[in-house]
Chains A and B, each alone.
Chain A
Amino acid sequence: MAAGSGVPPDNTLPLLQFVPWQSAVDVGFWQKLAARKLAELRLSEAEQPLAGHFTASTHTQLSSPLHVGPDAWAGGVSEGAVRGGRAVAPGSCVLTNTLDGFKQADKKALLQAAAAKVWAAIVSGQAERDSALLNRFFLLTFADLKKWDFVYCVPPPLGEAMARACLAWKQAPPPAPPPDAVAGPPGDAVSDLAARLEASSVEDPGDVAAASVGGGSPFFLLHCAEGEQVTAHSLEHWSALQQQAGTVVAVYLDPCHLASHPGWPLRNLLALAVVRWRVRTLPVLALKETRGRPDWDRSLATTVHLPDLPEWRATGAPCPAAVGWERSAAGALGPRVAALGAALDPVQLAGAAV
C-alpha cells in the first residue's frame, strides 16, 4: 500500500503504527445468528446491519476487544446495559450459504466496499456528527448448522490508508528535534495537558469525558481554554473551536493497552482530520480507563504530524485502499473458527445431560 503517497518521508519522526483491534464474537451472537438464519434470513446473502460495542482499555496489560454479542442484532446495547464508557460501533454482516461461497467471496472487494462507507461518512461530514461511524466493522461468516461450526472473519474498523503520522507519546523518550517543516516540537501542544486537566476548574475531568461519551461517542474534542476551563465538544465543533483561544485536543476511546502505540480507531480519526480539518498536526489524547472510569494518568497525549494529501481532499476522491482484516490465531489473514457444538448443538447437549 502506498502509505502517505505524495509526501516526502519525514525520517526524523517514527512512522505511527496502529495496533490492530481484536474482536470478541460471543456464543450468544452465534446462537442468534443461527436462529435468524433458519427463521428469517434463510437463503438470503444480503448484508445485515449489526452493532458491536467496546470500551477503552481497562487494564494495563489487556486491550479491549470489539465485542459482538447477542445484542448485536438489536443495536449493540441491550436494554439496561448502558454506561458512560461504553461506545457502540456500527457494522454489517454477510452470511454465506455455502462453505464454497465463503471461500470464494471476494474479500478484498467486500472490505473495500465497507471502507467506502466509512470514507463517505468522513467526506460528507456525517462522521463528525456521529463519530461512531468511524468505527464501522464488517463480518463475513459461514455457519455450519449441522456441526455448529462458525467460520468467520472480522476486519474490525477499517483503517484508511493513513500513514506518515509521527508520534511522540507522553511517556516516550524525547524525539529528535523536528525539521523546520514541522511546526512546533512534537507533543508541545499537549505536553502539559494532563497537568492542565488536573489543575482545571473542572472538578473531575472524567465528568467532562463521561458527559460526552455518555452519548456513546467514541471520539470527541476537549477544549482547554484560557483560565483552565476544560470542556467537551462533539467533532463537528472543530472549526468553531479553532476560532477561540486555547488548545483543542481530539480524544478517542483507545482500546489498546500499549503505551507505545495507538489503537486502531485513531486511524480513521486522522483520515478525518486530513480530509475535513486540513491540519498538518493534531493534538490527540488516547483515553483509557481504570475500573470503569476515565484514567487520565494512563491516557496518552501526543501531537500527531500528518501528511499533506491533496488527492484525498479533491472532490469525489476515491476511497483509499482499506486494510484491517483481523488475523487468525495463527497470525495469518485467514478465517477463524468457533466450534460451538458442545455449547449449542441440541443433540450434543442432550447427550451431555445424562
Chain B
Amino acid sequence: MSLKQKLHDTWVGVYESVTPPRTVSAFRSKGVLTPEEFVEAGDNLVNKCPTWLWDAGEPEKRKPYLPPNKQFLITHNVPCFKRVHTMEEDPSTETEQMMGEDGEEGWLATHGAASETRQDEGEIPSMEGPSTEAPKEEAKAGPSRGAAEADDEDEVPDMDEFQDDNNLVEDDAATFQIPYLRAEEPGDENILRTRTYDLSITYDKYYQTPRVWLYGYDEAKRPLHPEQVLQDVSQDHARKTVTIEDHPHLHGKHASVHPCKHSLVMKKILDVICAKGADPRVDQYLFIFLKFIASVIPTIEYDYTVDFDLGPSKRQS
C-alpha cells in the first residue's frame, strides 16, 4: 500500500466518521445508493440468486447505518478455472460486450488486443507466478510451498518440521481416491487452475456505492497470496483499480475493486439502459453492478446473474 493510498484511506476514515450517510436517493441522477437502497438491492439479489447471503461480519466492525444482520453480501466457493492471462491470449474467449457500440464503455473488458504488449512488463505478476511455474513440484513438496512463498522464502515453514511421528495410514477400499480437482485440459495437466473465491459486496459510505472484495483459495483450499489474486484480475485493472486492502467487516487482506469510479460507470450504464427505453429500478442495481464487475474479474464464475437481461422486455420481475 502506498503512502498516498494510506493518506487517502485516513482521510476517507475521518470523512466517514463526521458525515452522515446519504439519505436522499440519487440512484438515477448520480449512480449512487443510500444505505437503505443498498439493503433493498441486496435483498433482491439474495432473493433471486440464493448463493448470495447477507452476513453480519465481525460485531466490532459493524456499521450503524446498516441493519446489524445485513452488513454485507457474501458468496462462497466461486470457481475460477483459468487465469486471466490465458483468457487474454485467446481472442475467442473475449468477453461479450454487454451494451451497444455507441455507449461510452471505458469500463468494458478489452481482452485480446491489448494483451501482447502488457505481457512484457516486468511488474505483471501472473505469468511466472509460483503456482503456475512448477505446480508438479509444488504438489510434491507439500503444503509448505504455500501461498506466502512469493514473499519471503526464508519464513516458509519446512514441512518436515510438522510431519508427525505416528504416520497415519488409511487403506479404505470405499474411499474414492481423487486428486485435487484440476481443469481438464489434455496435455496441459500440470497447471493448477481450479481456484475458488469468496466474493463479498460491502457498502462504501464514502463513495456511496457497493464495493466488491475477493478472497481466494488455491485448489487445496489454502488462502491465496494477494499477488496470486491479481492473476485473476483483468490485467488492465490489476494494481490500478484493484488494490489489496483490509476488509471493512472481516479479518485479513482482501483484494478489492476500488469504488472511486463506480458511480460514474453506473450512471453511464443506467443512462444507456434508459436510452433503450427501459426503466431500471433501484433494486436491480446490484445485478447491473455485478455485470460491470465481471469485466474486471472475467474468469471468476459467479455466473448466476447471466440471464439477467437489461432490456425492457425480459426484465426480471
Contact = CB atoms under 8 A, between A and B. Distances in A.
Among A18, A28, A80, A325, max chain B CB count under 10 A is at A80
B77 A339 contact: no
Contacts of B107: none
Given A26-B223, A162-B174, A334 B6 contact: no
A334 B51 CA distance: 32
A347 B180 CA distance: 34
B173 A107 contact: no
Interface residues of A, number: 84
Contacts of B304: 291-292
Given A58-B77, A329-B180, A342-B226, A15 B151 contact: no
Interface residue tally on B, bucketed by range? 35 or more
Given A62-B79, A65-B77, A107-B168, A78 B163 contact: no
B117 interface: no
Interface in B139-192: 139-144, 146-148, 151, 155-157, 159, 161-176, 178-181
B34 to A, nearest CB: 20
Interface stretch (B118-126, B214-222, B258-266): B214-222
A335 interface: yes
Contacts of B52: 292
Contacts of B178: 19-20, 258
Nearest to B168: A333
A334 B157 contact: no
Contact of A83 (B53, B138, B171, B215): B53
Given A28-B250, A62-B194, A337-B143, A293 B50 contact: yes
B85 interface: no
A70 B251 contact: yes
B175 A159 contact: yes
Given A328-B142, A353-B6, A99 B161 contact: yes
B55 interface: yes
B58 interface: yes
A205 interface: no
Given A159-B174, A333-B167, A80 B55 contact: yes
Contacts of B159: 334, 337
B1 interface: yes
Contacts of A328: 142-143, 220
Contacts of A65: 77, 196, 221
Contact of A147 (B53, B69, B155): B155
B252 A340 contact: yes
Nearest to B178: A19
Nearest to B164: A103
Nearest to B167: A333
B292 interface: no
A330 B139 contact: yes
Contact of A163 (B166, B173, B253): B173
Contact of B156 (A3, A15, A339): A339
B239 to A, nearest CB: 14
A334 B77 contact: no
A281 interface: no
A270 to B, nearest CB: 10
Contact of B6 (A20, A144, A332, A354): A354
Dominant secondary structure at the A interface: loop
Given A330-B141, A333-B168, A81 B54 contact: yes
B252 A331 contact: no
Contacts of A117: none
A330 B143 contact: yes
Contacts of B175: 17-18, 20, 159, 323
A83 B162 CA distance: 38
A81 B142 contact: no
B56 interface: yes
B174 A267 contact: yes
8 nearest CB pairs, A to B: A80-B69, A292-B50, A329-B220, A17-B176, A79-B56, A292-B51, A27-B252, A339-B148
17 contacts: A16-B174, A17-B175, A22-B221, A24-B76, A32-B251, A67-B77, A80-B55, A83-B53, A103-B162, A292-B49, A292-B51, A324-B170, A328-B143, A330-B140, A330-B143, A333-B168, A337-B143
Interface of B: 1, 3, 6, 46, 49-58, 68-71, 74, 76-77, 79, 81, 138-144, 146-148, 151, 155-157, 159, 161-176, 178-181, 194, 196, 198, 215, 217-223, 225-226, 250-253, 301, 304
Interface of A: 1, 3, 15-20, 22-28, 31-32, 55, 58-59, 61-65, 67, 70, 78-86, 99, 102-108, 142, 144, 147, 149, 151, 159, 161-163, 165, 258, 261, 267, 291-293, 323-325, 328-344, 349, 352-354
